[in-house]
Amino acid sequence: MNRKVSVLKRKVKYVRLEVNLEDLKIIAPENFKVNESEILQRHQKWIQNKIEKLNEAKRISKNLKIYNHENLNELVNFYVEKIGEILKRKPNKVLFRKMKARWGSCHYKKGVIILNKLLRYLPEELIKYVVLHEMCHLLIKHHKKEFWLLIKKFDSNFKEKEKLLAGYRLRLN
């Protein structure tokens, strides 16, 4: 692996890895003795998989068209209504904010969906997909098999859309 590896100590409970295009971070609890080579060895397959996905997203990002939907609120509200009728569930509130790492999030118990303001630069089909994804979280909290089966019922091409979203994330950040 030809990435710079750094170890960061933080107020966290568990060790985690963060991989990006330039480096790899091992984030560990403040009082944890880090065995860097053991952690890297144990998670080698996961790290390699993550690097391959990042490289694919980088390739994809080079050819993506940037849009500018000035009517993002109306577009999202339209999809919330449309998808809500199908799912028989609508969010209590939809909020927008600028997010660095996500296209959206769902506060399952509160029924609140937060969407990234940068969605305005994506094609409509991806905006619709992100709304669908977050609205499905109103029914299923985690990204387990059951969640992806629900997504697949409405969008059999969801894996390709996830790749495009990764490409747009690189392109816009």
Summarize pLDDT for 62-71 with one digit per residue, the tens: 999 999 999 9
What was the pLDDT predicted at 22? 86
Report the DSSP pairing between strands 23-29 and 112-116: unpaired
Res 99 pLDDT > 80? yes
| 104, β-bridge pairs | 115
What whole-number percentage of the chain has pLDDT above 90?
91
Res 125 pLDDT > 70? yes
Contacts of 54 (CB under 8 A, 6+ apart): 19, 20, 21, 166
Kind and range of the H or E element at 27? strand 23-29
Q: DSSP label at 110? A: T
- Pair 59, 164: CB distance under 8 Å: no
Contacts of 92 (CB under 8 A, 6+ apart): 110, 111, 112
- Pair 131, 76: CB distance under 8 Å: yes
pLDDT in tens, 38-75: 999 999 999 999 999 999 999 999 999 999 999 999 99
Residue 74 CA: distances (Å) to CA of 69, 80, 81, 89: 10, 10, 11, 19
Domain boundaries, the chain: 4-61, 72-172
What was the pLDDT predicted at 3? 80
What was the pLDDT predicted at 116? 97
Report the DSSP pairing between strands 23-29 and 4-10: parallel
What was the pLDDT predicted at 111? 92
Res 1 pLDDT > 80? no
Question: How much is the pTM?
Answer: 0.87
Torsion, Cα of 115, 158, 57, 40 (10° steps): 90
Q: How confident is the model at residue 120 (pLDDT cuts 50, 70, 90)?
A: very high
Whether domain 72-172 has CATH 3.30.2010.10: yes
pLDDT in tens, 129-164: 999 999 999 999 999 999 999 999 999 999 999 999
Q: What is the C-alpha to C-alpha distance for residues 100 and 116, in angstroms, rounded to an integer? A: 8
